[in-house]
Amino acid sequence: MIYQTRLRGEVVGPNGVCDQDEWEMMELARPGVNLLVRSGIESEGIAERLARGTSGDTKPRVSRDSVRLSLLS
């Protein structure tokens, strides 16, 4: 499961990942503080990648020619 933590209605911090049992414990301890973003993800690794989004991805390579063309435009 992917969740976001909210403080006064605003999302604070990065997305988090937990399993069903952890989610239920968090909801019992502090109802409504966390917002469930996505559930039913088949593995923790996939959940981590989805939660991270594009953060940590390698940047696309750009050729010198394309940089020169963009500077001339």
Question: What is the per-residue pLDDT across 12-68, written as a single tens digit (0 to 9) for each?
Answer: 889 999 999 999 999 999 999 999 999 999 999 999 999 988 766 666 677 777 767
Burial 40-68 (b: 16+ CB within 10 A, else e): ebeeeeebeeebeeeeeeeeeeeeeeeee
pTM (2 d.p.) = 0.69
**Shortest CA distance to 15 belongs to which of 55, 53, 51?**
51
Structural domain total, the chain: 1
pLDDT at site 56: 61
Range of the structural domain that residue 56 is part of: 2-72
Predicted confidence band at 72 (pLDDT cuts at 50, 70, 90)?
confident
Distances in whole angstroms, Cα of residue 8 to Cα of each of 11, 24, 70, 73 = 8, 21, 43, 46
pLDDT at site 23: 95
Distances in whole angstroms, Cα of residue 27 to Cα of each of 40, 43, 62 = 17, 22, 46
More confident residue, 64 or 10: 10
